[in-house]
Structure 1
């Protein structure tokens, strides 16, 4: 897997990451969602540098100009629900892309911290020969990305796979590497070293879905 750790290159992205982590800023849900969107835009821009381009002639009021434009057929697939503002950021830059949405949530199997990932909803076009952008703000244990990928396989074989996340934990990234093709790209804003006993990223930022849209009843 090709890992692109964008936080390593100093840029305004670090301001957006700091704000989504900051407890004092997180209380503003609209601002939290907007920061997820802005991080999606930055990651989308970095990803765009690796795509395929072909020249196209554009007619201006005063003449003709040849411009290299993206020729990839793209599908942006986001994992509900925290993925929605992140998805919007990607779609702001890849407005020609098709869109897919899939649900994945932690179903606790007993009284302890053990859980399994359940996928119950999928809406997607064919992925065959497409450039797939699979987006989820939090790459914690990695199980959501893996479960979603298994569900998407029935929709065709993508020509390229790009995973996108705001924050990830090293153990989760290592697990994902074992389950995706070796030429998969991971675009990630920030990487933390560990998970706690409940499988949440430390220091992370908390529950991105709750911070974006409010708390939920537990399954």
Structure 2
């Protein structure tokens, strides 16, 4: 798997990452959503450098300008519900992309720290022969992304698969490397230290879905 760690170089990306982690502004859900959206936009820009382009000629009021435009067909798929703001950020830049949404949640059958992943909802465009961009803010254990990937692969075969996450734990990256094809690309805005005993990212930021939309039952 090809890993792109975007936080290795200083940019405004780190500024927004700092804000989404800050407990002093966590009570402002609109600001949290907007910052996740901004991070999605920055990641979309960085990912766009890996796409293919074709030469085109643009008619301006004063002449013809030779330039390029994206030639790849893109499908953006986010994992519900935390992926919505990040999805919007990607769609702001790839505005002609097709879209998909899929659910993945931790299920604790014994009411302890053990969990499996439930994938219960999916609505996605045909991605056969296209670039599939799978976006989700948090990569903790990696089990959700692998479960979603396996379910999606039952529906078709993408030309390339790019996975974009805001915050990742080393354990999650290792799990993806073990269970996903080597040809997959993983884009990470920030690599954190570890998972705790409850499989949450440390230092992380908390529950991205709750911070965006409120606590759930």
- TM-score band by shorter chain is over 0.9
- C-alpha separation in 1, matches of 2:126 and 2:14: 35
How far the C-alpha of 1:130 sits from its partner, in A, is 0.6
2:142 aligns with 142
Give the whole-Å Cα distance in 1 for the aligned partners of 2:180 and 2:157: 12
Secondary structure (helix, strand or coil) at the match of 2:127 reads: coil
> How far apart are residue 139 of structure 1 and its match?
0.3
C-alpha contact (below 8 Å) 1:125/1:155 kept by paired residues: no
Tell me the TM-score normalized by structure 2. 0.98
Q: Does 1:159 find its partner at 2:184? A: no
Where does residue 177 of structure 1 map in the other structure?
A: 177
CA distance in structure 1 between the aligned counterparts of 2:200 and 2:21, rounded to whole angstroms? 14
1:86-124 CA distance string (max 9 Å, x none) = 000000000010000001111111121111110110001
The Cα shift of 1:63 comes to 1.3
Instruction: Show the counterpart of 1:66.
Output: 66
Partner of 2:204: 204
Structure 1 stretches of at least 4 aligned residues deviating more than 3 Å after TM superposition: none
**Hey, what's the Cα distance between the residues in 2 that align with 1:180 and 1:111?**
29
| CA contact 1:41–1:89 (8 Å) conserved in 2 | yes
Q: In structure 1, what is the equivalent of residue 119 of structure 2?
A: 119
TM-score, normalised via structure 1 length: 0.98
Corresponding pairs, count = 217
Q: Which runs of 5+ in 1 are unaligned?
A: none
Instruction: Give the secondary structure class of the aligned counterpart of 1:181.
Output: coil
